[in-house]
Chains A and B, each alone.
Chain A
């Protein structure tokens, strides 16, 4: 039953790339939290190692299951994630004014993370059936729109605007990739603009509006978000060309950086390794994304192709948004950097994405 070609086709390069990113992540977290003496956060890098252990385990398991089963299970996975999102609303744990976490025994999970993968799988299934060179028309788009709107609304209700927008970005990118008819595209843009206009006056909470306004006009809150950005820029800029050296970062050890081990982890890396290091890390990410697209190209059947594009998109947007935010090109929206930021839900989700990509890659012969 076991096909030797699975090993023959295993994408060792992609796997090594992931290992490298994971190693950089754990190292940077170690550096970010080790500075503060005897703080309770010091053990975080060990926990991150454990998460990666679990992440690689899950990745290995997914490798053995043919990804094409996902097409069959797409709705099951989707509904499961939706139920978790609904559960969050009723029994979720509140943190910082919004309910995002679900307590399961000794761990807390954030259902808004796996829903991204579930949406990608389900959309891949939908589009694989309706794919054509002319592009999708309005009727073919109707079902995917509903399927995306449901989790989007549930996430925004938590409220977690950042992740909600993320789901829209992933779905939008996948849809654009499979092409939309021109007139349909125009109609959608118009409806979207009207929807944004309306939601401004109904759905959005005042703090979310304020964040959007801060994005458009960063001067609004000089003592809040603006302060984080300036500290982040100082950390990154002070790394100069060659960096201050490993564990030599001063901005993060003195706690000037906010959330240095989660959202602002890139600044820690950039301070210690300078432009050379940050270029290297950004280059690794770019390699990862292009490699993901290459896996999509190499796959010879539509579901695998579109799924690979979707999973690559998940990683792409998170990387772009997180780094842009840390270097002051975008507002602070609370978005972890894949592979590098501390956080179980993020690590597991990203490893599942990578696992499925490897899965698609090693079965590329199958459709021949």
Chain B
């Protein structure tokens, strides 16, 4: 609403109409009053024998006054406020395109940094843990990028495949005593079949309708996990999921009889950090495999068919591309990587419950793909860094950190509406890259 009002007012406001401006600002202040009264104005406090309400009208007054002044300033700046915004964004507008030829170097630098990170002096357990989380989301982002970025199918239930992967690994490992490496392909396979399962009913849907159905699918999977007590232990979750081993060696202080632990084999003193670092490298390699696969497939006929499907499905059919198969492979492959990431998540946590697979996870992964710039691999990395690190860095701000997080997302969408790195490189060129491409 604010944008529309701003636009209308901004254009003709060369000579300032004070009455209208004040009215407009007063209106904004009134809206702010309605919002702030419950949000800031009331606080629940503990009093004898229960809780009570405490009013903080002073804060409300300050907030409303700020909104009034701010709105008035925006109006007085007139059209220039939009210009200022555009001017602030201009230096960044062509950045992705300028950087595109060097993306290989950025990628290499990033990977090198990722490999040496655990050995850097500041890398304590917390840093490696957070980095592992970032990598999980990068991998999920890359997986979802197949479905959303390349094939253009808006999927709001991606977390379902993550959950299928996690539960597949946990159940197989607990009941059949299979190791992580045996379970990984199976978990991927299960997740992929769930991808196909979701794919069939939504073949004819696009855009908003597809989003709603996939959202429902994600919830169905979560609710089944929650209620199928005999198998999934419902809300209690599955505990004691086996941890991964390094070529059969555990990361325990006192290994079982007849087995060698990692630190014994290498003659190192035992440290809890070994496993954390091992898990970090594990997800790093899984993520890199995902990336290599997606990069490769993008240049294959199937990858080009996905992108063509995103651009125009009718034209695809007229070119003899089978839309059913193309969509289903996108769903299946995207889901497979979600499943791999899920298995890793299960083995890292050692405990999973449906609570880890709520809609907010799907939303976060989708936000990573969209903020990064649909279809951009490095964009996903940047967005995952921003979206996972920001709440971490914001911990000192306590309850305001989500506010900060939201503000950052709004900011990105204002300055870079098509994502951080929206530039798309063709998968194949006739002329060398510097010979001049699209204007």
Binding partners A and B: no
| A residues neighboring B (CB under 8 Å) | none
Q: Which residues of B contact A (CB under 8 A)?
A: none
